[in-house]
Chain A
Amino acid sequence: MTVRELRATLSAHALVVLVCVFSALPVVWAVSTSFKGPAAIFAPDLVPADPTLDNYRATLATFPVARLVLNTGAVAAAVAALQLLLAVLAAYGLVRFRFRGGPVVLTALAAAIIVPQQCLIVPNYLLAAQMGWIDTYVGLAAPQLAGCALGVLLLHQHVRAFPRSLLDAAQIDGAGHATVLWRIVVPNLRPVLVALAVLFFITSWNEYLWPLLVASGTERATVQVGLQAFQTEQGNDWGRMMAAAVLVTAPVLLAYGLAQRWIVAAFVQGTGR
């Protein structure tokens, strides 16, 4: 390696490390702050001189971490599973049947993806209220199901790429559509379906505006709504605030560490590249 190349490589690493610091700093600093007592919170030390668990003790006493994580996780899991089911059915239906209205349905689903969510909140809120769904899990989950449209669009491509002769042969052998779909198409698309499920789950987990409107009570609150409520209560107790933020971040980062490959694959496929 020439000196010039070495210098180029080193400066490349320097820049990338700098950007890594930018990416990691909020979480790292939150962890650091969460272990500092009231007197040390002013100190710019990364590693607290006199680490304490007081912030965690005080936070856990009033901040329902488990409840929030369970609420968010249960809703996200249900939403992801249902979205996946709706998307698989629709994608199969659109590809395997030639019927009047098929192309219109596909266009309508594709166009729905780009409608900004904020434009729909008033009528959606009214509908949820009319159904008695405010502060319920059903109310939290129901409108999110419309997100299945993205899944239909993605899966449509995959089902279409399926060798048609294989599916036709199965049907000539007497297999019905249900058998073809669940025994042939779904098992073969497993990697795509896993990726899509991860994408749906994370999207729902990170949903904010809708839960803010329909689940502001603690009983059904999600992680983000709960954290914001805690912030309003705690005002300027930054030690406790960061402890709360770290507590709700931990499961996310843990899951990310464990399933990193799937998560990354999900985003790569989900965003179209």
Chain B
Amino acid sequence: MTSTTTAAPPGADRGSGARPAGTGAALPWLHVAPALGVVVLWVYLPLLATLALSFFRWNLTGDERPFVGLDNYAALLGDPAFARAAGNTLIYALGLLPLAVLLPLAVAILVWNRGGRLRQAYRTILFAPVILPPVVGAVMWQWLLHPLLGVVNLALGGIGVGPQNWLGDRDLAIWSVIVVTGWKVFGLGFLIFSAALSGLERNQIEAARVDGATEGEITRAIVLPLLTPTILLMTFLTVTLGAQWAFSAVHVLTQGGPAGATDNLYYLLYRYAFGYFDTGTASALAVLVFAGFAVLALAQLRLTDRLGHDR
């Protein structure tokens, strides 16, 4: 938003004031009601409904719906799948960082700095995975990673590495799903960093170059500090949303397996709700996920804010 809000002319309105007389009190509400209405109907009411459902045992369609208090929460916390999914959620969030932040940052700087005439072509190719539907990408990756016929194993065989069961091996599977997810997220990170780079003032950098600074020094001393807010934003998005981004890949490639190795809280929630039709436990999990997510998002926002202001 920075690029656009700073475009405001100097005397631009900050908040609004005087209205010509005669506008009814209902007029403002007529403008905001449609947007507010759909958000209340499809976000806030469902949140409350989820909270309510978490205290009942129900199979989504049956007539019996006994109140069970906190039983669903107890059942959930006693389910080893929950602990595993929670741990994996963390692995997704942190494991995606190299592909979502570090590599896109490095590649964006290289393309910006030394891309030359190929800059536009690079950007076109590197961003393309973002617009491909996730399931389409996942299906294509499934073929690349096929244990017997996949080109990845064929290529590795060429350099003497034996075939790996990328999606079937308990230790490998989650990293395969992370790479497939990261393949898409990389493009987004690359684009965001490229946009931030093209917004930088060239003067300071040119001056440093004239003074004899090397590209490495310029990157470290000028470019990276200027990019700090963008780096923090991308880190924030990845840590907060990483496990959600992985959903389609998990669903297509592993369904959470083998033996829960690629499960995460969001996928577990889906399975409780529409695999086991255990509406109560799914809702209890949704409540916990939402609470944890809100705390994490707020904490990160505050941290990002503080780090951003120090610069």
Q: Which of B70-78, B90-98, B142-150, B169-177 contacts A (4 or more CB under 8 A)?
A: B142-150
A133 at the interface (CB under 8 A from B): no
Q: How near does chain A come to B93, taking the closest CB pair, in angstroms?
A: 13
Q: How far is the CA of A267 from the CA of B188 in the complex (A)?
A: 8
Please pick, from A16, A142, A164, the residue contacting B115 in the complex, using a CB distance under 8 A.
A16
Q: Please tell me if the beta carbons of A122 and B283 are within 8 angstroms of each other in the complex.
A: yes
Report chain A residues within 8 Å CB of B5: 157, 161
Please pick, from B13, B31, B122, B293, the residue contacting A16 in the complex, using a CB distance under 8 A.
B122
Give the size of the chain A interface in residues (CB under 8 angstroms).
Answer: 105
A191's closest neighbor in chain B, by CB? B4
Report chain A residues within 8 Å CB of B11: 163, 165
Report chain B residues within 8 Å CB of A61: none
Q: Is the interface of A mostly helix, strand, loop or mixed?
A: helix
A5's closest neighbor in chain B, by CB? B215
Q: How near does chain B come to A251, taking the closest CB pair, in angstroms?
A: 11
Within 8 A of B (CB), among A1-54: 8-9, 12-13, 15-16, 19-20, 22-27, 29-30, 33, 41-42, 44
Report chain A residues within 8 Å CB of B161: none
Report chain A residues within 8 Å CB of B154: 44
Given A25-B144, A120-B42: A273 in contact with B183 (beta carbons within 8 A)? no
Report chain B residues within 8 Å CB of A97: 16, 19, 23, 27-28, 31
Report chain B residues within 8 Å CB of A112: 39, 43-44
Q: Please tell me if the beta carbons of B192 and A273 are within 8 angstroms of each other in the complex.
A: yes
B30's closest neighbor in chain A, by CB? A93
Q: Please tell me if the beta carbons of B12 and A160 are within 8 angstroms of each other in the complex.
A: yes
Report chain A residues within 8 Å CB of B129: 23, 26
Given A44-B154, A161-B9, A228-B135: A108 in contact with B1 (beta carbons within 8 A)? no
Within 8 A of A (CB), among B81-105: 103
Q: How near does chain A come to B62, taking the closest CB pair, in angstroms?
A: 13
Q: Please tell me if the beta carbons of A89 and B42 are within 8 angstroms of each other in the complex.
A: no
B309 at the interface (CB under 8 A from A): no
Q: List 9 A-B contacts (CB under 8 A).
A: A12-B114, A85-B34, A95-B16, A121-B269, A127-B46, A149-B43, A157-B1, A177-B27, A238-B149
Interface residues of B (CB under 8 A from A): 1-5, 7-9, 11-20, 23, 25, 27-32, 34-36, 38-47, 49-50, 53, 60, 103, 106-107, 110-111, 113-116, 118, 122-137, 139-141, 143-144, 146, 149, 151, 154-155, 183, 186-188, 191-192, 195-196, 199, 215, 230, 233, 237, 240, 244, 247-248, 251-252, 266, 269-270, 273-274, 279, 282-283, 286-287, 289-290, 293-294, 297
Q: Assuming A26-B141, A119-B286, A148-B39, what are 11 further A-B pairs, CB within 8 angstroms?
A: A19-B126, A30-B143, A86-B34, A112-B44, A158-B4, A160-B14, A205-B133, A206-B131, A267-B191, A272-B2, A273-B233
